[in-house]
Amino acid sequence: MFDRFDIFFVQQLINGFSVGLVYALVAIGFTLIFGVLNVVNFAHGEIYMIGAYAGLLAIIFLAPPWVALLLLVLAAGIAAGIALERAAFKPFRRFRDEASLKSKAMRESTLLSSLAISIVVRETVEKIFGADMQAIPRAYADAMQEPISLGELAIASGQIAILAAAVVMFASLQWILKRTDIGLCIRAVAANPLGAQYVGVHVDRTVIATFAIGSGMGAVAGLLIGLYQGTIFPAMGFAPGVKAFVAMVMGGLNSIPGAVICAIVLGLAEAVATEFFGQGWADLVAYVFLVLTLVFFPTGLFGAGRERV
Amino acid sequence: MRGALAPLAVAAVLFAILPMGLSMAGSGYLFRLADVTLIFCILSLSMQLITGVAGLLTLGHAAFYGIGAYTAAILSTRVGLDAGLTIPVAGLVSALFGVLIALPTMRLVSIYFAVATLGLGEMIYVTLLNWVSFTRGPLGIGDIPPLRPFGFDLSSPLGTYFLIAALAVLSLLIVHRIAHSYYGNALRALREDDQCADAMGLPVVRLKIEVFAIATFLAGIAGALWAHTTGYVNPADFRFAESILILAMVVVGGLGSIPGAIVGAALLILLPEALRAIGEVRILAVGLIMFLCILFLPKGLFGEVAALDLVRRQFGAAWRGGSAARPLGWR
């Protein structure tokens, strides 16, 4: 087995690390929304897909420079996030008291409504663009595939871009949460929605801001991955969405750093599993991790864990 | 006397009027549609038992349906087992997996349980897809013999229809008797507050595992019927989207309501077929109907309270029995 620890294996680990960063990018937005509303946003994977398609449309029709492309996709993600909140989550926050804000019925109806919205969005995109893979124009996709060699190892420039994006997003999210007024509101609502309302926090606006931030990040993640992989398709959001969810559960639900670490661990584990068992079985890793975590560490590996799971 | 009327009406429609109409139309497509609707009725009834009555939101129900279908397919093509045996065996294998999966996950509640079932369902799908030597992977298993249980040739459209209708009615009876009994009330107690039910002395985990086993048994039967009537199974038929379709049937029909499960299954199978002229919009229609239902009809088309009223009026001996009724108790 040790003869497998050759340069090829290290290369696989590096690829796994960048896959893990992709999951982390998705998981950051996911965890942020869960932390504030205590509900699972099943449509987060579709936001990621919308980001990729918005990027594709922008590239085809406008061919903007990189910064403008990023800003356009960010705007599309924010718009999609706000629309999603309006359609799938707002109607279920009719009741203001804490019991119903955290009740089982509320959680499950928003779970189902976001699931329904995600189906509708995915199918609509499929009707418009077709279910097949769509290639990103070469001029943009190639920029993500330039090899950078480090000794014997080869790293694609896209992997560096993903790493940079993950670091920037994580840092900016921490900055928003800890250093700005809106971040203070978000943390207040996450801690206690009713209490936040009593001291004058506008809960609805805060929730919308949370969705805007989380979805903007999800959309940018979708764009980067679409560019890096060179092809996008309507169902692309499902797998990263589920894996980001697994990372969130493993990380303890409310902990963004925990989710990021677990996402990277998941990516590495998948790379190792691919190496030893093949691509098809590697998909099992995430689900096995999920079930093992839920059964043995129901509060997650990094969670404070007061809540009953 | 009145109590016999509604069941007789259901039986008359299912076993006389519908097959007569279908035979007169003489169209294989309509027979197939009726078969699929009835198979999905079994599936939505079984999910109703888990999600509606016992309150466990499961997102992996299609996996058990898939296990049933694959069991029937493999047993009848490789072992050459009779369809009269593959169908119950498929149910049992599926229930076995149900119990195995329920044992570790039943301690979880609400979202966590939902996600654990999602994960386990996808695990089963990935296994069906990748265990090529056993399931033939993405190629699927073809040439599954049609329904000829114990020498009776039911492979004609009418015979197949009657067998499926009989099994659907049987599962309707089972689910109905479970849901509208003291046992069913115990399950409803779990749904409302399982900690409270625990404090009242109900064996919470055991009840959950039992109901999961019963429901997965029915799902396995539905899978076997699907395998035998289609003649071909493929992992893609048992994915997450299929679980969502079944869940949508239950949600649209009304959580906890048995007529609701049937209405939901019929609506979500027949409506997209009726819309076929517009284009392949099945899943889009499912998503839209589900969303609109959650938004505007949170209780579903046929809510639980209305359904309980109906049951009490038309079927319920337990509520009418007076002092001579069976002794009170949760079983």
Domain count, chain A: 1
Task: Assess if residue A65 is contained within a domain.
Answer: yes
What CA–CA distance (Å, rounded) separates B262 from B278? 25
The answer to whether position A155 is within a domain reads yes
Look at residue B214 in the predicted model and tell me its pLDDT: 92
Domain holding B187: CATH number? 1.10.3470
Can you state the percent helix, strand and coil of chain B, rounding each to 5?
Answer: 80, 0, 20
pLDDT at B1 (0 to 100): 44
Domain assignment present for A158: yes
Q: Which domain holds residue B99?
A: 2-315
Helix axes A44-61, A203-229, angle to 10 degrees: 60
Q: Report yes or no on B38 lying in a domain.
A: yes
How far apart CA A222 and CA A297 sit, in angstroms, is 30
For B34, residues 6+ apart whose C-beta sits below 8 A from its C-beta are B18, B22, B161
Residue B251 lies in a domain: yes
Chain A: residue nearest B120 by CA? A287
- Tokens 């093509």, residue located: B77
Q: Is residue B110 part of a domain?
A: yes
Inside any domain, residue A118: yes
Residues of B in contact with A293 (CB under 8 A): none
Rounded Cα–Cα distance for residues A92 and A67 (Å): 37
- Residue B322, domain member (yes or no): no
Decide if A27 is inside a domain: no
Tokens of A286: 């995430």
The pLDDT of B206-213, averaged and rounded, is 90
In a domain, A236, yes or no: yes
DSSP H helical segments within B16-82, as ranges?
A: 18-25, 28-47, 61-74
How many domains does the structure of chain B reveal? 1
Rounded-to-integer distance, Cα B248 and Cα A119, Å: 11
First to last CA, chain A: 39
Whether A97 is in a domain gets the answer yes
Selected residues 236-275 of chain A with any CB under 8 Å from a CB in chain B: 238, 242, 245-246, 249
Residue B130 phi/psi, 5-degree rounding, is -105, -15
Please count the other Cβ atoms lying within 10 Å of the Cβ belonging to residue A86.
12
What's the confidence (pLDDT) of residue A160?
A: 83
- Hey, which residues does A155 pair with through a beta bridge? A148
**Amino acid (one-letter) located at A34:** F
User: Reduced to 3 states, what is the DSSP secondary structure of residue A136?
Assistant: coil
pLDDT (tens digit, 9 = 90+) per residue, B253-305? Answer: 888 788 888 888 888 888 877 777 666 777 787 788 888 887 787 777 777 77
> What is the pLDDT at residue A82?
92
pLDDT for A287: 85
Is the pLDDT assigned to residue B189 strictly greater than 80?
A: yes
- Residue A283 within a domain: no
Residue in B109, B122, B294 closest to A109 by CB: B294
| Sequence-separated (6 or more) residues with CB below 8 Å from residue B224 | B68, B69, B71, B72, B86, B87, B90, B91
Measured between CA atoms, the residue of chain B closest to residue A277 is B130
Give the ipTM of the model, two decimals please: 0.76
Q: Is residue B329 part of a domain?
A: no
- Examine residue B280 and state whether it is found in any structural domain, yes or no: yes
Do the domain assignments include residue B326?
Answer: no
Q: Residue type at B61?
A: H
Residue B210 in any domain: the answer is yes
Give me the domain span that covers residue A207.
35-241
Q: Is A175 on the interface with B (CB under 8 A)?
A: no
Contact between B126 and A104 using a beta-carbon 8 Å cutoff: no
Contacting residues of B for A245, CB less than 8 Å apart: 115
**Tokens describing residue B122:** 């996808």
> Which two structure tokens, joined as six digits, stand for B272?
């997209």
A195 vs B: CB within 8 A: no
Q: What is the pLDDT of residue B319?
A: 53
| Residue B235 exposed, middle or buried by CB count within 10 Å (0-12, 13-18, 19+) | buried
Chain B residues with beta carbon closer than 8 angstroms to that of A40 = 111, 115
Provide block-wise average pLDDT over 10 residues at a time, chain A (309 residues): 63 84 86 81 88 88 83 91 87 65 65 85 85 76 72 76 85 88 87 84 88 89 84 83 84 81 88 79 82 76 56
